């Protein structure tokens, strides 16, 4: 089990597979590094060094009372990259992990970064505001917080259905995938999971996106029920100077089935390009 300790004393769990140019994966809420296993294995089998980590408060990492906010998530990522002395890394972030990656580049620059991939990512801002009328109303996130606080086990089980689009007509439902999602989610501590809701929903990444100066693949399913594409990928692709937008027709938020295979092909092509 590989861990390192951050400057504020939090233990961060990570996996380090393969050899070659580094690819660093950041996971979504409320999951952990295991959600990236398929892509990490793919990268490692094709000549890359795949690194995944459990965000603080999630999975096998420490569960501190303080520090469950986007700046600290980005700082943890920076400290991991520096601890492993990674250079010319490709940063890959899904959902909240996409926010973590974007905040990292906005806060720490791109000196160690060659490229970035944002999959179903939360930037620039999920919350509906006067300036962001296509965002999601705050009461949606209030209900998420309430559900996490009162019966997170049931909430995570129900969330797994829309996360993978299993509630759509004709969907090939995987009971195993739903159980895996629930298991990963339940490994997140209550405090960290609760705090993270505000971070993924109310953090404004607009200025961070404008600072990104490396080639960036912005990938998103157009049937994403968790992070709707209009306020997310479409706006992100406009704000990042060197972005390529890839839209997957009918695809949900979570990687599953044909969508996962299509993304894997695009990821590998982007890594090799």
The set of catalytic residues is 95, 224, 253
What SS3 class is residue 74? helix
Quickly tell me which residue has 């109303």 as its tokens: 137
* Three-class secondary structure assignment of 150-168: HHHHHHHHHHHHHHCCCCC
Residue 190: CB atoms within 10 A of its CB come to: 12
The H-assigned helical ranges of 164-228 are: 175-186, 190-202, 206-211
11-17: strand order across its sheet: 2-5, 11-17, 49-53, 22-26, 89-94, 113-119, 216-221, 243-248
By the 8 A CB rule, do 123 and 208 touch? yes
> Which two tokens mark 117?
């991939």
Task: List Cα–Cα distances, 77 to 9, 180, 263, in angstroms.
Answer: 14, 25, 23
State the pairing for strand pair 49-53/11-17.
antiparallel
Rounded Cα distance, 120 and 95, in Å:
5
The C-alpha atoms of residue 219 and residue 242 are separated, in whole angstroms, by: 14
Four-residue CA torsion sign, 247, 250, 252, 256: negative
């Amino acid at each position: 089990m590989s861990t390192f300790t951050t400057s504020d004393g939090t233990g961060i769990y990570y996996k380090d597979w393969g050899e070659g140019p580094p690819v660093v994966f950041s996971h979504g809420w409320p999951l952990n590094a295991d959600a990236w296993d398929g892509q990490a294995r793919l990268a490692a089998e094709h000549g890359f060094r795949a690194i995944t980590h459990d965000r603080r408060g999630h999975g096998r990492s420490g569960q501190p009372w303080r520090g469950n906010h986007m700046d600290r998530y980005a700082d943890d990522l920076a400290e991991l990259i520096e601890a492993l002395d990674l250079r010319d890394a490709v940063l890959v972030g899904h959902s909240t992990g996409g926010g973590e990656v974007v905040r990292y580049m906005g806060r720490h620059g791109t000196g160690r970064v060659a490229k970035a991939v944002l999959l179903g990512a939360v930037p620039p801002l999920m919350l509906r505001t006067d300036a962001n009328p296509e965002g999601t109303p705050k009461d949606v996130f209030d209900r998420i917080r309430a559900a996490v606080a009162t019966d997170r086990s049931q909430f995570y089980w129900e969330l797994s259905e829309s996360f993978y689009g299993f509630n759509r007509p004709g969907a090939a439902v995987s009971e195993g995938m739903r159980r895996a999602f629930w298991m990963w989610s339940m490994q997140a501590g209550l405090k960290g999971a609760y705090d993270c809701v505000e971070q993924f929903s109310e953090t404004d990444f607009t200025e961070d996106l404008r600072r990104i100066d490396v080639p960036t693949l912005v990938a998103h399913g157009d049937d994403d029920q968790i992070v709707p594409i209009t306020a997310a990928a479409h706006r992100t692709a406009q704000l990042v100077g060197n972005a390529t937008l890839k839209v997957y027709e009918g695809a949900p938020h979570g990687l599953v089935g044909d969508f996962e295979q299509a993304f894997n092909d695009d990821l590998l092509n982007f890594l090799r390009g």
